Amino acid sequence: MEDGVNKRKTPRTPGKFIVNYRAFNTIGSECDITQTKNIGGGGMLLNTTTFFEKGTILSIDVRLPFSQEPLHFKAEVIESKEMVKNLIYDTRVMFMDMDEKQKNALTETLNHYLGKNPEKK
């Protein structure tokens, strides 16, 4: 467990998935691109080049292997922690508005990486 007690309701997998992100209220601004450090049913940890205040809403696009299109949703910043001075931040976010199709693609990805996929007949 990282930093003491694990408060997560769902397990995470240390997958590296491509993510485009930007602060939600900055319509028209360019997105930054990064990758996840881990991802779970309720959120993810990603590297960002910007420090985000707790509660900031991000617009996120993430590419998962079991979804033809990137998943687009909003996420709330839970924590942004400086890892390399003024350069790289570990940013934890909580998913906000995923629809059923997005949740299913995420669940399928998590099940695959966590070894929980039932054998297909």
Chain segment 20-50, per-residue pLDDT in tens: 999 987 766 678 999 999 999 899 999 999 9
What is the total count of domains within the chain?
1
Residue 1 belongs to a domain: no
Residue 6 belongs to a domain: no
State the Cα–Cα distance between residues 37 and 29, nearest whole angstrom: 24
Q: What local confidence, expressed as pLDDT, does residue 8 receive?
A: 54
pTM, two decimal places: 0.82
Residue 121 belongs to a domain: no
What residues make up the domain containing 32? 12-110
pLDDT tops 50 at residue 4: no
Which pairs with CB-CB distance under 8 Å and at least 24 residues apart come from 68-72?
70/20, 71/98, 71/102, 71/105, 71/106
Q: What local confidence, expressed as pLDDT, does residue 28 receive?
A: 65
